[in-house]
Amino acid sequence: MSDSIYHIKIKKEYASAILEDLKQVDAIEIIEEPIPEWQKKESLKRLQEMKENPSSSISEEDFLKALDEDDEKV
């Protein structure tokens, strides 16, 4: 096996199908874990905040851009 490290980026519209195909040929095992209660509560809280104050939310593009900027600072 090679010592190379590969980084891949899968477009989200294809990710599910690719993972299912890999599962079909026993190349991967998908381990399903329940969503913790704290995470469900936090998600519902954030959705409610967005409904009450839509101007406080940012687009997915702006969020990902901010993450990239944070990564560059590290």
- Find the domain containing 23 and state its range: 12-73
**Residue 63 included in any domain:** yes
- List phi, psi (to 5°) of 23: -65, -40
What would the pLDDT profile of 25-74 be if each residue is shown by its tens digit? 999 998 889 999 999 999 999 999 999 998 888 888 999 999 888 777 76
Return the DSSP state at 44.
H
Provide the pLDDT for residue 4: 86
**3 within domain boundaries:** no
pLDDT of 18 reads 93
The answer as to whether 2 is a domain residue is no
pTM recorded for the entire structure: 0.46
3-state SS of the chain: helix, strand, coil percent to 5? Answer: 60, 0, 40
DSSP-derived secondary structure for 31-60: ---PPPHHHHHHHHHHHHHHHH-GGG---H
* Residue 20 binned pLDDT confidence (cut-offs 50, 70, 90): very high
The pLDDT assigned to 24 comes to: 96
Check residue 74 and give its pLDDT: 67
Total domains in the fold of the chain: 1
7: in domain: no
Residue 1 lies in a domain: no
